[in-house]
Structure 1
């Protein structure tokens, strides 16, 4: 017999299942179903058939089952019922046994295809268990968590640059200088539209027209004439022959950094105040980068300890998840993935290869974190589960118990517990890893902790759902 649970899911009480190991990281799920359990599915199949057939004297969907059985044979509906019911029975079996499947099963009905009790077998790939020797002695490097005086100077110079003046100089051009040039672009002696202009102010080193411009303009001076070939801005066009006439060279002269200038152009009263604020702003950004890099780089080092190839099924799932996430983000801006690749100048094949590589690493990080959970006996309390489930509920009108039951019946309760355990394993690793910056300085403990608001919404770049 079958029972209906609170979430609407059918629980089959006359179903028995056993799990046997199979080749590699696969298992064989053997399910036995009492004939009575299949009857609701058979009845449903007949109702669907009745909607499709036309029998004299009966409206669509009203033909009695016995008449349909005489017309088509009882095997027809049973076959349709098995197609629908077997996957459902399989799902219930793996959820009840908490089998961590990562791919679609190979299903085979071994008994009862035509009548009587039904037995079927499902061979399915499960998430492999790995061992990661050396995880408790990781050493990771992250960006420096404070700004240097040079970086502060560069930031202030960029600010000063907004108020700089261009002054003509009598010397050869260097990077960051401006040159006034006449440009003539031709192909086979014919002027190219849009590539010929007079008195064009060009920033040396910007690569705005073509990289060859910078190569020839560095070292040029007023009066020089330059001839060279360069790629057309449109990659499908032939090369362009350029002729440049250098009219003058200018450098940007920055205003003197004084208390007076600072008071006039900023919210601060002195150079020291400006430097202090700039230092704090840059260092704050550096600290945040370091915090993020701690966990990302621990994951990278952890993945290196996994000595098996990432299963293709997990990698493919991760690739698809990342593509869907990217597509969703771009859709909000009205951009297709194809347009995004073109706008960013990325080759589709190279993009796909990068996506696969990062997905393989994410899968290995996931497997390694699961290994740490098992090795260290990391557990998730029921209070932690309740807190996580409440955060998942959000604004939905569900009680905690209703949400827990829906997760359990959908086979996702184990996934929630596993994600929490992996999160705790990552923090366990953070506490025990040696984390240094690019200068070899050990990061202070306060920079290893997550900001409080991130504890509940920490988003790991890891593959990992317990039931795919």
Structure 2
């Protein structure tokens, strides 16, 4: 039988089930249980109808006849647990990751013993070795003149003009067409269009439209059969339909000259050279961001595979449920449902939830890894960093960062913000500490340090 834990008015014992699971046995003495049952019965009396009594006035014995003795006792036990568990957490130093689960209830001489199954957030005593670790990345091509030119062309296309030409059409041209379609001799409302401007090379509802029009001139009439690329009305994707196209005009897309005059008129730059330099810088920045993102993914995956972390199933399930409900909410905003998603992807609901369990497991592993790195390197989050985080929130509200900080002081939200900052800094330390290389073993410079203010990994891990 549990005995009073030193320093606590609650009697309980703690047994280790696994690294991150505990079984806590609490004793609820008879006198407190009796009082809790009376309170539970009075509360239930307000919600049920008992013949011969006004709502809320039925005696306990009558309430128990209606809802059952077990319901009254279970409600009373739940009330007592809610009241006593804070003292248990304080006495043990445990922080449950999910709500404790009642595993067993036993009648004993002194009252009732309740076994609670408690799942904890998994922690990692020591992170896998990461300093000096070599991480091989797939390196994208260097940014050359061709990539810069293609980017500039896409920008110039926003200001392009169309000019009618008397020649066969080719990829990149626009054609003005009248399109009609039919299925099994019956005209279709879709796809159909009159005076439609179609750019050769762009996919449409009709598969292979470009191939059938390529080389045609104004006045040409083209008839063919082709499958639908997507479902249209009652016709499923892939249904073969008849298509008739009349080409009214062929138009060539004319891009503006990339000279200083055009650049100064339509961009924030004065010369074409300045614009080109900025495009090159932007593309190189995107390439660098891509490499850093790849490093983050590869590194975290490799380290997670080396971790021995027995994550409680209840913790994984709770995280997966939250992810799943977020997903359901996003679908709802898009006017769709999980059931429609399942049907469209050809999966069953168990498979979809299994994917979220996999993501939840990976997320928990990464969280434990980063927490361990933060502790290992002695990272501390200062008040100024917290205030900076609140500043971002203040820009979306009418409050100041200082007033938000005052409201959140000591709250769960502040702890969450502090934890996010710790993990972000821990990830930064991880990425700076490893050695990214290409397939040939050559070092890749990811330029983490800002110009003029370099920080070394050693500085951050002292």
Same-fold call, TM > 0.5? yes
State the alpha-carbon separation in 2 of the partners of residues 420 and 127 from structure 1.
18
Q: Secondary structure at the match of 2:205?
A: coil
Distance 1:310 1:354, change over 3 A: farther
CA distance in 2, matches of 1:386, 1:199: 62
Tell me how far apart the structure 2 counterparts of residues 158 and 415 of structure 1 sit (CA, whole Å).
43
Q: 1:133 to 1:272 in 2, by over 3 A?
A: same
Structure 1, 140-149 or 18-27: larger mean CA deviation: 140-149
Counterpart in the other structure of 1:338: 337
Deviating more after overlay: 151-160 vs 390-399:
390-399
Distance 2:178 2:146 in 1: 37
1:104 Cα offset (Å): 5.0
Corresponding residue of 1:119 = 113
Q: Is the 8 A contact 2:137 2:436 kept in 1?
A: yes
Q: What CA deviation, in whole Å up to 9, does each residue of 1:19-63 have, x standing for no partner?
A: 21236864322222344544552342243255457697x865467
CA distance in 2 between partners of 1:266 and 1:377 (Å): 49
Whether the 8 Å CA contact 1:146–1:282 is kept in 2: the answer is no
2:368 corresponds in structure 1 to: 370
Q: Distance in 1 between matches of 2:243 and 2:20?
A: 63
Answer yes or no: is the 8 Å Cα contact 2:45–2:56 preserved in 1.
yes
CA shift for structure 1 position 374: 4.3
* Mapped partners of 1:195, 1:72: distance in 2: 63
Structure 1 residues 129 and 220, CA, compared in 2 at 3 Å: closer, same or farther?
farther
Q: 1:322 to 1:140 in 2, by over 3 A?
A: farther
The one of 222, 225, 228 equivalent to 1:228 is 225
Q: Is the 8 A contact 2:136 2:436 kept in 1?
A: yes
Partner residue in 1 for 2:26: 31
Separation (CA, whole Å) in 2 of partners of 1:317 and 1:235: 40
Shift of residue 205, structure 1, vs aligned partner: 1.7
- Residue 14 (structure 2) pairs with residue 19 (structure 1): yes
RMSD (CA atoms): 5.1
Structure 2 residue matching 1:41: 3-state secondary structure: helix
The equivalent residue for 1:243 is 244
Query: In structure 2, do the counterparts of structure 1 residues 42 and 239 end up closer, same or farther at CA, with 3 Å as the change threshold?
Result: same
Q: Tell me, which stretches of 5 or more residues in structure 1 are unaligned?
A: 1-11, 449-468
Q: Describe the shift of the 1:209–1:310 C-alpha distance in structure 2 as closer, same or farther (beyond 3 A).
A: farther
Cα distance change of structure 1 residues 366 and 256 upon mapping to structure 2, 3 Å threshold: same
Contact kept in structure 2, 1:434 and 1:442, CA below 8 Å: no
Q: TM-score, normalised by structure 2?
A: 0.69
How far apart are residue 250 of structure 1 and its match? 3.6
Q: CA deviation at 1:80?
A: 3.8
Query: Is 1:158 the counterpart of 2:161 in the alignment?
Result: no
- Greater Cα shift, 202-211 or 73-82: 73-82
Q: Give CA-to-partner distance per residue, 1:244-283, whole Å, 9 cap, x none.
A: 3445544313232222333444443321132234334555
Task: Please tell me whether the aligned partners of residues 32 and 119 of structure 1 are also in contact (alpha carbons under 8 angstroms).
Answer: yes
State the 1:372 CA deviation: 6.0
Q: Quote how far apart the aligned CAs of 1:432 are.
A: 1.0
Higher relative contact order (CA 8 A, sep 6+): 1
Q: Secondary structure at the match of 2:181?
A: strand
Q: How many residues align?
A: 425
Tell me, in whole angstroms, the C-alpha distance in 2 between the residues paired with 1:327 and 1:69.
Answer: 40
* Conservation of the 8 A alpha-carbon contact between 2:100 and 2:116: no
Contact 2:175–2:200, Cα closer than 8 Å, also in 1: yes
Name the counterpart of 2:188.
192
Which secondary structure does the structure 1 equivalent of 2:303 belong to?
helix
Change beyond 3 A, Cα 1:326–1:384: farther
Unaligned stretches of 5+ residues in structure 2: 1-6, 452-462
On the 8 A contact 2:128/2:303 being kept in 1, the answer is: no
Equivalent residue for 2:43?
Answer: 48
